[in-house]
């Protein structure tokens, strides 16, 4: 059973490397001291020094490697041997080779859906379908569906005007409308590819994205239902008016986007995007990836299985979805090829920071493994007697609360728990559930050190005190519920 307690006797960590520049440690206690120092240094650099997370992770990785006994040549390679791959190069390249393509394609897909008006069509149709009384549910479903291909902050920017409109029509607290939307956006951002967190964890722990998608749905849907229940409860007890200044700003932003589209040669069309088109484009890559995953389990090797696995490769599936979006939402609606290129290129600008942070997380994990620190941590955690999935959640949660960044929490935790998983014969399904636990921990208790906290407060006109009482608790509900489901399901896989 994959959830068995890790009660085996600790093994001896590998001895430190003899060629290290700063050989200050000896044996498991010394390596654990280096690990504790590295995590403390990382938190200090991010929280107190306000160092950019990529730089902080890189600096800590180098420091930990040297203190644990890695030689300079092991860390950085040597000029004489061009064929030798350094720890830093292998860590960075190993993770980005998997993650960069998925995140890049997913980002461009989300941008086309955003600029074409697909999100507005989706939300408007759901609002009209569910009616005024169930408008909060419609907003929640909008966040859930549209959150799959777009980043959390982009989802807020695009969908906030629809929340304002629904709240003004209903005459009730904006919390009843924005919190379900935020829960949907946050769930997909934390649990489902092609978002950076789960994709990075899948790359670091070597799990097929199909399993991550499946377990993301299994754990995420109950979590978001719990969050929606909390939203309905708290929204009736705290009244927050629609922020008029943000309504005006949203209208101005909409006009600016339309002007930018015209400048790029994209003339807004009168007829809306068909809802079915939006759903097909979003659903196609998910279905293809899941089909490939299950074909490897249910089908014997055959040409048919090879075809499913080809089209279900995340790279191929997302490329097909992007090409569909180019044609159905762009060229077919009068966009020029230059406009498609401009929208796609501009969407990739914010991705650079994400990829660098993820890559630095890969370096951190590679240094932990090469230096023996990861093995020492693994031996120690085995002695604690907690299941791996619980340890993964707690480590991610502590890192998230301490420094605010979900991505940093995920990539750091994945590097720490990787040796724990490599020692056992765990199924892909179980490791995917560990990723869900890590992702759940990475969204716990969003507060003042998280940019998402201030984005929610600003866009929806919520005071800092009420944001702590609503958004922070909402994220905690999502986190605990998602982890509870992951733990329960892990007993059976």
The closest of 465, 351, 453 to 100, measured between CA atoms, is: 351
- CB atoms under 10 Å from CB of 84, counted, come to 11
pLDDT band at 325 (very low <50, low <70, confident <90, very high): very high
For residue 180, pLDDT beyond 60:
yes
Mean pLDDT of 198-203: 93
Q: Please give the average per-residue pLDDT across 202-217, as a whole number.
A: 94
Percentage with pLDDT > 70 across the chain: 88
Q: What is the pLDDT of residue 199?
A: 93
What is the model's pLDDT at position 26? 58
Q: What share of the chain in percent tops pLDDT 90?
A: 39
Identify the pLDDT of residue 9. Answer: 37
Q: What is the pLDDT of residue 192?
A: 94
Give me the pLDDT at residue 266, please.
57
For residue 222, is pLDDT > 50? yes
Q: What is the mean pLDDT of residues 111-123?
A: 83
pLDDT bin (cut points 50, 70, 90) of residue 333 is confident
Higher pLDDT, 366 or 20: 366
Tell me: the pLDDT tens digits for 144-173? 999 999 889 888 888 888 888 888 888 899
- Res 5 pLDDT > 70: no
Pick the more confident residue, 272 or 212. 212
**204 has pLDDT over 50:** yes
pLDDT at 27 exceeding the cut of 80: no
The pLDDT of residue 373: 81
pLDDT tens for 78-100 read 655 554 568 888 888 888 887 89
Tell me what pLDDT residue 381 has: 76
What is the pLDDT at residue 270? 56
**80 vs 183: which has the higher pLDDT:** 183
The top-scoring range by mean pLDDT among 51-60, 295-304, 337-346 is 51-60
Q: What is the pLDDT of residues 398-457, one digit of tens each?
A: 989 988 888 889 998 998 898 888 777 899 999 999 999 999 999 999 998 888 998 899
- What pLDDT does residue 268 have? 56
Checking if the pLDDT of 6 tops 50, the result is no
For the cut 70, the answer to whether the pLDDT of residue 53 exceeds it is yes
pLDDT for 285 equals: 92
Query: Where is average pLDDT lowest: 102-106, 327-331, 375-379?
Result: 375-379
pLDDT at 265: 58
pTM of the predicted protein model: 0.82
Q: For position 126, what pLDDT does the model report?
A: 85
């Amino acid at each position: 059973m994959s959830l068995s307690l890790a009660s085996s006797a600790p093994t001896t960590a590998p001895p430190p490397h003899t060629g290290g520049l700063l050989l200050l440690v000896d044996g498991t206690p010394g390596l654990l001291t280096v690990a504790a120092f590295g995590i403390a240094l990382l938190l200090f650099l991010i929280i107190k020094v306000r160092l950019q997370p990529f730089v902080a992770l890189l600096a800590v990785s180098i420091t930990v490697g040297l203190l644990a006994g890695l030689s300079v040549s092991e860390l950085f390679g040597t000029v004489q041997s061009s064929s030798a791959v350094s720890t830093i190069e292998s860590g960075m390249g190993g993770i980005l080779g998997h993650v960069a393509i998925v995140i890049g394609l997913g980002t461009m897909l989300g941008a086309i859906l955003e600029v074409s008006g697909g999100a507005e069509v989706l939300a408007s149709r759901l609002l009209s379908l569910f009616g005024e009384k169930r408008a909060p549910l419609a907003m929640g479903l909008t966040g859930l569906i549209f959150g799959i291909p777009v980043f959390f902050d982009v989802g807020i920017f695009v969908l906030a005007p629809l929340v304002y409109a629904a709240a003004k029509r209903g005459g009730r607290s904006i919390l009843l409308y924005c919190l379900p939307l935020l829960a949907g956006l946050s769930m997909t951002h934390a649990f489902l590819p092609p978002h950076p967190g789960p994709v990075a964890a899948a790359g670091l722990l070597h799990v097929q994205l199909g399993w991550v998608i499946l377990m993301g749905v299994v754990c995420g849907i109950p979590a978001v239902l719990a969050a929606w229940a909390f939203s309905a409860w708290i929204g009736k007890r705290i009244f927050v008016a629609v922020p008029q200044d943000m309504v005006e700003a949203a209208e101005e932003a909409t006009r600016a986007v339309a002007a930018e589209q015209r400048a790029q040669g994209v003339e807004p069309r009168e007829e809306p995007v068909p809802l079915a088109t939006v759903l097909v484009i979003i659903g196609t890559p998910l279905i293809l990836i899941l089909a490939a995953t299950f074909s490897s389990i249910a089908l014997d090797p055959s040409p048919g299985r090879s075809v499913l696995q080809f089209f279900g490769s995340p790279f191929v599936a997302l490329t097909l979805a992007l090409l569909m979006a180019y044609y159905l939402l762009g060229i077919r609606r009068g966009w020029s090829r230059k406009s498609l290129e401009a929208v796609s290129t501009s969407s990739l600008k914010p991705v650079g920071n994400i990829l660098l942070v993820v890559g630095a997380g890969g370096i951190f994990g590679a240094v932990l493994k090469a230096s023996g620190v990861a093995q020492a941590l693994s031996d120690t955690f085995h002695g604690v007697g907690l299941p791996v999935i619980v340890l993964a959640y707690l480590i991610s949660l502590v890192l998230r609360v301490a420094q605010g960044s979900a991505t940093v929490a995920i990539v750091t935790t994945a590097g720490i728990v990787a040796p724990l998983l490599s020692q056992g014969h765990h199924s892909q399904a179980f490791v995917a559930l560990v990723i869900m636990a890590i992702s759940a921990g990475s969204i716990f208790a969003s507060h003042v050190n998280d940019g998402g906290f201030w984005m929610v407060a600003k866009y929806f006109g919520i005071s800092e005190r009420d944001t702590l009482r609503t958004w922070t608790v909402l994220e905690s509900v999502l986190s605990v519920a998602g982890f509870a489901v992951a733990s329960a399901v892990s007993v059976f896989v």
